Amino acid sequence: MKKQPRLREFYGKEVLPRMQQEFQYPNVMAVPKLTKVTINMGMGEAKSEIKLLDEAVETLTTLSGQRAAVRRARKSISNFKLRE
């Protein structure tokens, strides 16, 4: 059996009934739903210090409960001093 994520479980058991009662939704299906939660962190300083990137990945992993995926720049942008 697959375990449900904490946020979805909390939303289903606590938030959904409270919102239905507070806003007088006639049906549970009328209550707005969370479809996706996205967490982002810009790490401009990480290009010079790799250790900062490792700490940021660890922090995001702790916050979200999932392994953070590192994405590097696809293009070089001189105004932002950004290199691929």
pLDDT band at 76 (very low <50, low <70, confident <90, very high): low
Report the C-alpha gap between 37 and 50 in whole angstroms: 27
What pLDDT, in 10s, does the model give residues 28-55? 999 988 788 888 888 777 667 778 888 8
In this structure, the answer to whether residues 49 and 73 fall within a common structural domain is yes
In this structure, the answer to whether residues 31 and 47 fall within a common structural domain is no
In this structure, the answer to whether residues 33 and 45 fall within a common structural domain is no
In this structure, the answer to whether residues 44 and 5 fall within a common structural domain is no
Query: Which residue range(s) make up the domain with 26?
Result: 1-37
Report the C-alpha gap between 70 and 84 in whole angstroms: 13
Total-model pTM: 0.54
In this structure, the answer to whether residues 60 and 83 fall within a common structural domain is yes
- pLDDT surpassing 90 at residue 25: yes
So what's the pLDDT on residue 77? 64
How many domains, the chain? 2
In this structure, the answer to whether residues 44 and 72 fall within a common structural domain is yes
